[in-house]
Amino acid sequence: MSLITLLTDFGLRDEYVGVMKGVVASIHPRATVVDITHGIDPQDVTHGAYVLAAAYTYFPAGSVHVAVIDPGVGGKRRILAVECGGHRFVAPDNGLLDRVLADRPAASAVYVENQRHFLKPVSRTFHGRDIFAPVAAHLAAGRGLDELGPPVDRPQLVRGIVPGSRFKGAACLEGCVVAADHFGNLLTTIHAGDIARLVGRGDRKQVMVHVGGQAIHGIASSYDSVPPLTPLAIIGSRGLLEISINGGNAQQRLGAAKRDPVRVDVHRCRTGPET
């Protein structure tokens, strides 16, 4: 089965997503197209990078993943086609693949430049239709990456554009808010593995999480492990730290915004509120 996924910031009000699917169907009618999401916040490469990295591993090897969060469309930015972990990706070279490639090196990568695989004429504002969709269809139909353009020096692929997390001393971990989901849960850049390394052999109840002026004690095991309408920190399904409210909306309650700092301390570190 040929499978193509789509992840964009296009929303569903306009025709953009449907047109991309039409282009794919015209080139490779037997391909199955699956929407990961079209609800990425507009032009938010960081949000898209984290969602793509969280989603793609649940699709079969050989899938082609098209990611279009592309504020530089029509300008000098280039387009990448990358093979990594048995999956192939087509995305702008703007950091959108940073999280995918953070832990797995690319097996191969090229700049997408061979116009034989483009839809003509190429619009300056809709490369999703004229480049990304047809290129993905050709890949799913059996074309190789080497047919799309010149190779990319693989070490240049991960450029640290998208924020992650960092240790500050032996007992503090710093990251930031990436976005809020449909329920108002705050997705952060802090990985569960980093929290495990921070705590070591200790108890996760020793942890204090600071975000939006709120200090949250411990890492909860479930939403209902705290009283209703109480803030909690939890390791979400993406393997990342999330900030939630049991039965409420953390984004509204805490007033947290994208890129707001998040700090995780253990008892060996100062645990008072942020100043």
Q: Is 163 exposed, middle or buried (0-12, 13-18, 19+ CB in 10 A)?
A: middle
CATH code for the domain defined by 166-265 = 2.40.30.90
- List the helix and strand counts (H, then E) for the chain: 7, 14
What is d(CA 226, CA 70) in angstroms, rounded to the nearest whole number? 40
C-alpha 270: how far from chain center: 31
The string of pLDDT tens digits covering residues 78-98 is 999 999 999 999 999 999 999
What is d(CA 272, CA 208) in angstroms, rounded to the nearest whole number? 9
Per-domain boundaries in the chain: 3-156, 166-265
Six token digits for residue 41: 């916040």
R_g over Cα of the chain: 20
Q: Model confidence at 271, in pLDDT bands (50, 70, 90)?
A: very low
The string of pLDDT tens digits covering residues 247-265 is 999 999 999 999 999 999 9
Six token digits for residue 80: 């990448």
Between 2.120.10.30, 2.60.40.3500, 3.40.50.10790, 3.30.930.10, what CATH number should domain 3-156 receive? 3.40.50.10790
One-letter amino acid for residue 67 of the chain: A
Beta strand pairing status for 240-245 and 186-191? antiparallel
Query: Looking at per-residue confidence, does 12 or 203 come out higher?
Result: 12
Question: For position 247, what pLDDT does the model report?
Answer: 97
* Residue carrying the six token digits 């939630």: 244
β-strand partners of 33: 4
